Each structure stands twice: as structure tokens, then as C-alpha cells.
Copies of this chain bind each other. A is one copy, B any other.
């Protein structure tokens, strides 16, 4: 199934109807805002930039921005520029990641560099990056005071730097024999946690610059993002190919040191370890080789370990929310975090 609609279709499992309706509403608003703002000349480069956004996606990060703002009593409308900015940054990283990882499919469609070539895909990512900051500034027109817009720009720029650090770590891990869980956690915070963190903080900044509120949102987003990425590692091994929209085992083929691989390499015997290492990063590995490596990883108990770690971070995310006002938007934030560790796509 190629999901060409964003929002609900991306998140069909395990969410309440209320939460699904909320996501659908916010995704519609954010998409509308993005399409209204991101166009220009030459059309071709804008088509390349918008390709993955049009192909679908969960819109989870912008939903976090908007729900955080609403939890603090703001209108969704006021949070749209920040929400759109975060989604544009996310998509920029996907476009460049796909080039670096030589991935050919995402969200059930060919990746940008497969359709437009690498040079145009590099520019398409850069354009999304630039548009993110252009769009963020529109928060002025929604009544967010300049001081807090500047702070939002700082937070989003800082998160973007951290993401680049995380991506370079992820890449360098591919060359390393062994990676420690601690290093992995640092990488995962940088690659994924930092943008979820920024999303929650930006939602907060629509309403306040109080340290305790922003710190709570920061802890919520950071832990949410880490749990989300751990689940991503799990889905790469046990997920349903059609549901997730990209080939299974691509992490193994690309030699990614996922949490599961790290755990398995630390627990299995020499023989099993060698078998996994032989397939890790082997670009032309056969389906059988990949499946064998996957089975070995599973046999180590890695999935149970990873699920527990994801659940721990979800509980940290939920704890952080307790200091926010209790309302329906806070419950949505809670439900989303719980979803992070359970999702099937």
C-alpha cells in the first residue's frame, strides 16, 4: 500500500479515534501551510523538494509542535509556522540520508535522488532546509513575539547541527567493528531525539519562555524521539515491508550499527558474531544471508532488550509531561509517546 495521504494513514495502528482525528486535523493544517509557502521557480526543484512530503509520512513531529502549543492554551494556527519548519527539516534530512545510504524507496515511492539524480537531490534537500527557516519566521505574523521567534530559530538551528553530528556518527559506526550501547544512545539522541526535542520546545515557545515548561517539553521530546528510533531499529528487523514502505533488512545491508546489532554482537558466541559481521554492510547480500543474520540477531534476545529500553524512554517522556496542565492535548502527547514504542510503521 502506497500511502499518498499523510497523517492518519501513517498511524493506523493502536491509536484512539480521538487521537487519529487530531492527527488528521493537524496534518491537514500543516500540509496546507507547507504547500502555500513552498513553491517557486524553477518548478522542477520544488517538485523534487516536495516529493517525499507529497508521498505521505506520519507528520508526527509537527503534531508534537501543535499539541504542545495547544496543551499550553494556544491556538493550533499560531503554531503552524514552527510545525511546518520542523517537518521541512525532517524531510530535508530524509532526502540527504537517502542519498548517503543509497536507499531507493521511502514511503512506498522511489527516493528523490532515484528520480531526479544526486545533484538535484542535494539541492532539493538544501532548499527544504532554507524554507524551514523562512517559514519559521512567519510565526511573527501569527503573533509570536520576536524574542521567542529568535529563540525558536536558535533551537531549530541547534537541533539541525546536532542531527548532522548524529548522521556523521551513524555513518562512521558503519566502519567500526564494535560500537558501545552508550555511543549508540548518543548517536540516536542526535540523529532522531534532537528534532523531537526541538518540536516540543518550539510548541512551547509559541506560548512561553518559562524555563521549567520548556525543560519539561524538552525531556518529553528527547525521550519520545529516542524511543521512536529504537522502535525504528526493531521495525527494520521484524516490520512488514509493505506497511513500512521500504525494504526490510536495509539496515543490515548498509552495515548500520542498530541497537539490535550492538546487543546481538555483545551476547552471541564467536561463530554467530562472525556470521552477522559477514553480512553486515554487504551491499549485495542475498535475501537468505540477510534473513540468516536477522534470525541470529533475534535469537540473542535483542528485540526484548530493545523493547524494554524503548519503554523506559517512553515512561521518561510521560513523566516529563506531568508538570504541564492536564488537558486533552496533554493526553494526546501522552498517547503519541506510548505509540512510539508500539507502532508497526
> Taking each of A100, A129, A146, which has the highest tally of chain B beta carbons within 10 Å of its own beta carbon?
A129
- The answer to whether B171 and A157 have CB atoms under 8 Å apart is no
Residues of B within 8 A of A145 (CB): 146
Does A268 reach chain B (CB closer than 8 Å)? no
Q: Which residues of B contact A92 (CB under 8 A)?
A: 126
CB distance from A133 to the nearest CB of B (A): 4
Which residues from chain B contact A179 at a C-beta distance below 8 Å? none
Closest to A160 in B: B130
B133 A165 Cβ-Cβ under 8 A: no
Does A262 sit at the interface, judged by CB under 8 A? no
The answer to the question of A131 belonging to the interface, with a C-beta cut-off of 8 Å to chain B, is: yes
**Considering the complex, which residues of chain A in the window 145-189 have a beta carbon less than 8 Å from any beta carbon of chain B?**
145-147, 149-150, 153-154, 156-158, 160-161, 163-165, 167-169, 171-172
A137 touches B150 (CB 8 A): yes
B residues in contact with A149, CB < 8 Å: 146, 150
In the complex, what residue of chain B is closest to A144 when comparing beta carbons? B150
Pick from B100, B131, B136: contact of A123, CB under 8 Å: B100
Write the A35-62 contact mask toward B (1 if CB under 8 angstroms, else 0): 0000011101100000000000000000
Which residues of chain B are within 8 angstroms of A163 by Cβ–Cβ distance? 126, 130
Interface size class of A (residues with CB under 8 A): 35 or more
Contact B96 A123 (CB under 8 A): yes
Query: In whole Å, how far is A118's beta carbon from the nearest beta carbon of chain B?
Result: 8
Give the Cβ gap from A135 to chain B, nearest Cβ, in Å: 8
**A99 at interface (Cβ–Cβ under 8 A)?**
yes
Among B129, B146, B153, B154, the residue within 8 A (CB) of A126 is: B129
Q: Is A293 an interface residue (CB 8 A)?
A: no
Is B133 touching A140 in the complex (CB atoms < 8 A)?
no
Q: Is the CB of A96 within 8 A of B146?
A: no
- Given the known A-B contacts A42-B172, A134-B158, A158-B134, are A164 and B123 also in contact in the complex, defined by CB atoms under 8 Å? yes
Contacts of A40 in B (CB 8 A): 161, 165
Report if A122 contacts B (CB, 8 A): yes
Known pairs A127-B161, A149-B150 / 17 extra A-B pairs, C-beta < 8 Å: A41-B165, A42-B165, A96-B126, A99-B122, A100-B122, A123-B171, A126-B126, A126-B129, A127-B168, A133-B133, A134-B161, A136-B153, A136-B157, A137-B153, A140-B150, A146-B146, A153-B153
Question: Complex formed: what's the CA distance from A158 to B134 in Å?
Answer: 6
What are 6 A-B contacts with C-beta separation under 8 Å? A123-B167, A126-B163, A127-B161, A133-B153, A137-B154, A137-B157
**Are B160 and A133 closer than 8 Å at their CB atoms?**
yes
User: A134–B198 Cα gap in the complex (Å)?
Assistant: 14
A120 at the interface (CB under 8 A from B): yes
Rounded to whole Å, the gap between the CB of A92 and the closest CB of chain B is 8
Interface contact B150-A122, CB-CB below 8 Å: no
Contact B120 A96 (CB under 8 A): no
User: Bound state CA distance, A100 and B96, in angstroms?
Assistant: 13
Q: Which of A131, A140, A164 has the most CB of B within 10 A?
A: A164
CA distance A119 to B122 in the complex (A): 11
